[in-house]
Amino acid sequence: MLSRRDLPKARRIVVKVGTSTLTHGTGKLNLEQIEKLVRQLADLANQGYELLLVSSGAVGAGMGRLGLQKRPKTVPEKQACAAVGQGILMHMYEKLFAEYGQVVAQVLLTRDDLAFRKRYINAGNTLESLLRMGVIPIINENDTVAVDEIRLRFGDNDTLSAMVASLVHSDVLVLLTDIDGLYTANPRVDPSAVLIHEVAEITPEIESMAAGAGSNLGTGGMTTKLQAARISVDSGVAMVIAPGNRPNVLREIMAGDDVGTLFIPAEKPLPGYKRWLAFGSACSGRITIDQGAVAALITGGKSLLPCGIVMTEGDYQSGDMVSIIAPEGYEVARGVTHYSADQVQRIMGKQCQDIEPLLGIKGFDEVIHRDNLTVMASR
């Protein structure tokens, strides 16, 4: 099992820095903090590490330039701030990294870039090419045009950074934020809260410790960071939550020092295609199944048959991704369906031999084959 002392052996690192770390309370960029971050990253690059930076701050930077004191509430206003701020933020990174002899590239992603398999693979190939050229990719959501993302579908870049770390097969993901790590309770309201230095498994007890969003400039809270941790560990990537304003925090983490909270990666991570099914793809509908089907998927390693389906929701088509839901409401799995929502409605609860008489075609026995399905729960 990976431990702190294994971190110095890592070669590829994804670093995510949040809005609260990059900006002052006024919304304007914290130039001193950005310069310290760039210096640490450039020094790690000089040591031979491959680095990718997932940076928030575009909306906050735009707020500062536009003279706004509070984060806008409407999507168009946030997009306008992002449009103004993204250029400011990237110009700052370009200037500072150039002083240390490092070349950077801007990469803007939307959810669709990761939801469709071909675009997902192409995004990975582009990032791999940049790393081979010695370039540090600076990645952000395309807030100017992506409505879903700016409404927190990615979770203030926390989830995006984990998906990037999974995509490029990173060794370590570091989330730099305005808190020291994961606590047993919210330390801002509970003085008895204790910092957890290491998490071997993300249990319901660990999830219950997550609080809501933090500052009014950022959008992600500890909940989104735990979502990122689940993606990371299931992808075989170690993740560390650490304070972004701590001097030399990246150097300390990569030296194996006891900084922040370390999430231990799974010993048997999901393979590439299953990883995309679980985390990269977007679901077009929901299929609720009975307890027998839940057991068959989780413990039996079986495909989803029509007899186990009790309800279907959404207007999905054959070849679309759907979410498979247990009777209690939690997500059991995700998979690519052989049948449309209308066809599933007609065959659900039936036996395999009933499919052809009901649909008038010789179809598949499985609604979702095991090879195209990834289990999301272990309950």
Residue 156 has a pLDDT of 60
CA dihedral (93, 161, 259, 194) in degrees, to 10, reads 130
Strand ranges in the chain using DSSP code E only, listed in sequence order: 12-17, 50-55, 104-109, 136-141, 172-177, 198-199, 238-243, 261-263, 285-289, 309-313, 321-325, 331-336, 373-375
Cα–Cα distances (Å) from 101 to 160, 175, 200, 215, 352, in that order, read 27, 25, 38, 34, 63
Q: Do domains 4-274 and 283-375 have the same CATH topology?
A: no
- Give which of 59, 20, 16, 21 is closest to 150, Cα–Cα: 59
- Give which of 179, 186, 237 is closest to 208, Cα–Cα: 186
- Angle CA(289)–CA(292)–CA(294) in degrees, nearest 5? 55
Residue 127 backbone zone (phi > 0: left; psi -120 to 50: alpha; other: beta): alpha
Task: Check if the beta carbon of residue 140 is closer than 8 Å to that of residue 103.
Answer: no
Residue 154 has a pLDDT of 52
List the structure tokens of 190. Answer: 């509970």
Known binding site for substrate: residues?
A: 56, 143, 157
List the structure tokens of 33. Answer: 């903090």
- pTM equals 0.82
Other C-beta atoms lying within 10 Å of the C-beta of residue 224: 24
Confidence of residue 232 (pLDDT cuts 50, 70, 90): very high
- Minimum mean pLDDT range among 37-51, 126-140, 147-161, 271-285: 147-161
Listing from the earlier edge strand, what are the strands of the sheet with 12-17?
Answer: 104-109, 136-141, 50-55, 12-17, 172-177, 238-243, 261-263, 198-199
Mean pLDDT of 94-110: 94
% residues pLDDT > 90 (the chain): 54
Task: Check if the beta carbon of residue 168 is closer than 8 Å to that of residue 114.
Answer: no
Residue 213 has a pLDDT of 40
If you count them, how many residues does the chain have?
379
Is the Cα dihedral 157, 159, 161, 163 positive or negative?
negative
Residue 152 has a pLDDT of 38
Whether residue 49 is predicted with pLDDT greater than 60 in this model: the reply is: yes
Known binding site for ATP: residues?
A: 16, 177-178, 219-225
- Minimum mean pLDDT range among 15-24, 158-167, 217-226, 337-346: 217-226
Long-range contacts of 27-31 (CB under 8 A, 24+ apart): 27/60, 27/61, 27/63, 27/64, 27/68, 27/69, 27/71, 27/217, 28/60, 28/61, 28/63, 28/64, 29/57, 29/60, 29/61, 29/64, 29/88, 29/89, 29/92, 31/92
Mean pLDDT of 338-360: 94
Mean pLDDT of 1-25: 87
Rounded to whole angstroms, how far apart are CA atoms 182 and 266? 19
Rounded to whole angstroms, how far apart are CA atoms 263 and 88? 33
Whether residue 11 is predicted with pLDDT greater than 80 in this model: the reply is: yes
List the structure tokens of 26. Answer: 């006024």
Rounded to whole angstroms, how far apart are CA atoms 167 and 54? 13
- Give the class (CATH, top level) of 4-274: alpha beta
Known binding site: residues?
A: 16, 56, 143, 157, 177-178, 219-225
Q: Where are the domains of the chain?
A: 4-274, 283-375
Confidence of residue 143 (pLDDT cuts 50, 70, 90): low
Residue 185 has a pLDDT of 83
- Minimum mean pLDDT range among 36-50, 137-151, 244-258, 347-361: 137-151
Whether residue 367 is predicted with pLDDT greater than 70 in this model: the reply is: yes
CB-side neighbour CA atoms (13 Å) of 350: 17
Helix 31-46, helix 75-99: angle, nearest 10: 50
Residue 379 has a pLDDT of 44
Mean pLDDT of 227-248: 92
Rounded to whole angstroms, how far apart are CA atoms 68 and 81? 9
Residue 377 has a pLDDT of 66
Mean pLDDT of 59-81: 84
Q: Is 82 exposed, middle or buried (0-12, 13-18, 19+ CB in 10 A)?
A: buried
Mean pLDDT of 271-277: 81
Whether residue 149 is predicted with pLDDT greater than 50 in this model: the reply is: no
Whether residue 320 is predicted with pLDDT greater than 70 in this model: the reply is: yes
Q: Which residues pair with 52 in a beta bridge?
A: 14
- Give which of 239, 215, 211, 236 is closest to 224, Cα–Cα: 211
CATH number for the domain formed by residue range(s) 283-375: 2.30.130.10
